Structure 1
Amino acid sequence: MADMRALDVETHSIPFFQRYGSAARMLHWSVACLVLITWPLGMMIGFAKKDVVSAFYLLHESFGFMVLWLMLLRVGNRWLTKPPQHSGSRPEKFAASVVHGGLYLALIIMPVSGFLATNAHGFPLKWFGLFEVWSPIGKTPDIAWTLSAIHTWSAWILLTLLALHLGAVLMHHVVRKDETLYRIL
């Protein structure tokens, strides 16, 4: 294992201590993969045939619920471990902090509002069809559409923040050719 770390440091010329910890990296990529599954599933619900809509909802909600729990673990990990310093100017560091904070916020608000909206519309979450998840609100039609709107808006905000995040990754990796990307790999 030590040899792999040395190779990693030599290959990317970034000291091991300047990388995110293994838990942070694992959580980052797990959430990223789940978002890349969950977001399109949610978008496809409106286009799916009626006989498969419930399957799309089941998968979308179940993966979204996993995003919520992984994000809560990410927040806990962030509180317990110090992330490596960002390189760049003060405005770049500020922009990175705002985008990362916005991503964290959107990735918590979106699954919470989706979960509550589904429940408020009268449909309990059945996680991958295995068991029903307890609902703190139950069927509440008065707030269902508000929660759905929050869920939809947070999805578009998330997409915007993700585009900014990926744009910054490309700028660092392709244009500046610096080591920023390797910190999270």
Structure 2
Amino acid sequence: MSEERREAQYPARLKALHWLVAGLVLAVWPLGYFIRFTRDEVKLDFYLLHESLGFLVLWLMLLRVGARLTAPALPDAAPGLEGVVARAVHGLLYLLLVVMPVSGFLATNAHGFPLSWFGLIPVWSPIGKAPEIAPIFSAIHAWSAWILLASFALHLLGVLYHHLIRRDSTLFRIL
């Protein structure tokens, strides 16, 4: 690995959190989408898994934000408008990966279903059953899911652009 490539690497903790969150999102997002198509007798199991993994994403993202704030600054990978777009997409991904699990957790609570994390740890409900606001949290959760999917697609397009067209070392920063 060249010295330039080694200097531009993200710290190992950020790499691990990036790929762990990415893997979880690739499991949680489709799981949440396909719950509506599951049989009633297993639907609650799917919800428990979706909610528990989503709650894990929240905690990992909070760790990730802390790790990112304490990591040494990396050189900008892209100049000008390209850099602005890259930072905006990354910022949106970070924001949505916190908003989604929080809104999902609050929607679950407001619908009257307190979270038992992986069926083992009861999680305190900050709002309790509140059917009048449950649809608001559910809508935030659903909209943020679709915006997250679009942001994820933009992120992947950026990765492909850098790796296949510009042929720079941007991808190697996170590998």
TM-score bin (small chain): over 0.9
Unmatched segments (≥5 aa) in structure 2: none
Contact 1:20–1:83, Cα closer than 8 Å, also in 2: no
Q: Counterpart amino acid of 1:116?
A: L
Normalising by structure 1, we get a TM-score of 0.92
Alignment of 1:99-138 (within 5 A): 99-138=89-128
Give the counterpart of 1:156 among 146, 164, 169.
Answer: 146
- Give secondary structure in 2 for the equivalent of 1:142: coil
- After superposition, the CA RMSD in angstroms is 1.1
- Give distance in 2, aligned partners of 1:97 and 1:82: 17
> Percent identical across equivalent pairs?
58
- Give distance in 1, aligned partners of 2:79 and 2:12: 27
- Give secondary structure in 2 for the equivalent of 1:93: helix
Contact 2:32–2:47, Cα closer than 8 Å, also in 1: yes
Unmatched segments (≥5 aa) in structure 1: 1-8
Give the counterpart of 1:21 among 11, 15, 26.
Answer: 11
1:51 matched to 2:67: no
Alignment of 1:139-178 (within 5 A): 139-178=129-168
Q: Counterpart amino acid of 2:124?
A: W
- In structure 2, relative to structure 1, the CA distance for the partners of 1:83 and 1:59 (3 Å cut) is farther
Normalising by structure 2, we get a TM-score of 0.97
Q: Which runs of 4+ in 1 moved over 4 A?
A: none
Contact 1:38–1:60, Cα closer than 8 Å, also in 2: yes
Q: Counterpart amino acid of 2:130?
A: T
